Amino acid sequence: MTDEETAELVIDRLLRALAAQLHTSGSPTLAAGAVEALADLSGAQADVIFGQAGHLVHYGADTEPLKTLIGAITAIQRDEAPADAVVKPGDEVRLVGEVPVSLANYDETWLRETTFVVRYVGRNAMVGLQPDLIEDYVVATVQAASVQLIL
């Protein structure tokens, strides 16, 4: 097993543990210490967390606790998004305009029909998007101008 595979398995275990703890607490919000630990994530860190959690849900892990955890982390990201951001974490969006390079390997029809959830908003007008976890779990970074809010 490679170091990268080991790291992914460790992250999987930690996400499952945090999801289970959140699930048994009876509250959809994380403890203050957990919120503090998950505050100020970089785009790359958010990609890893949401990508790994999405991977677990996509492949059938105990989904409800993980979905609750994903929602709780998204809420933290939403609170930290720039006040003037056009879209914020948790918003549902569709791709518009030219297909971003980060999604060039995907079927364009699928991309146009897919509803994405914003997972991260950077101060550099870049956003992290993730499709419905039944469809896929990859987090792609695109320019904020490439998405349109679904009302």
pLDDT in tens, 79-130: 999 888 889 999 999 999 999 888 999 999 999 999 999 999 988 889 999 9
DSSP code, position 99: P
CA separation for the pair 124, 28 (Å, rounded): 30
Tokens of 149: 């809010």
pTM above 0.85, yes or no: yes
What is the reported pLDDT for 83?
87
Residue 59 structural domain: 3-149
Q: How many residues does the chain have?
A: 151
Counted domains in the chain: 1
**What radius of gyration, in Å, describes the C-alpha atoms of the chain?**
15
What is the reported pLDDT for 62?
74
CA separation for the pair 111, 92 (Å, rounded): 14
Percent of the chain with pLDDT over 90: 73
Residue 143, SS3 per DSSP: strand
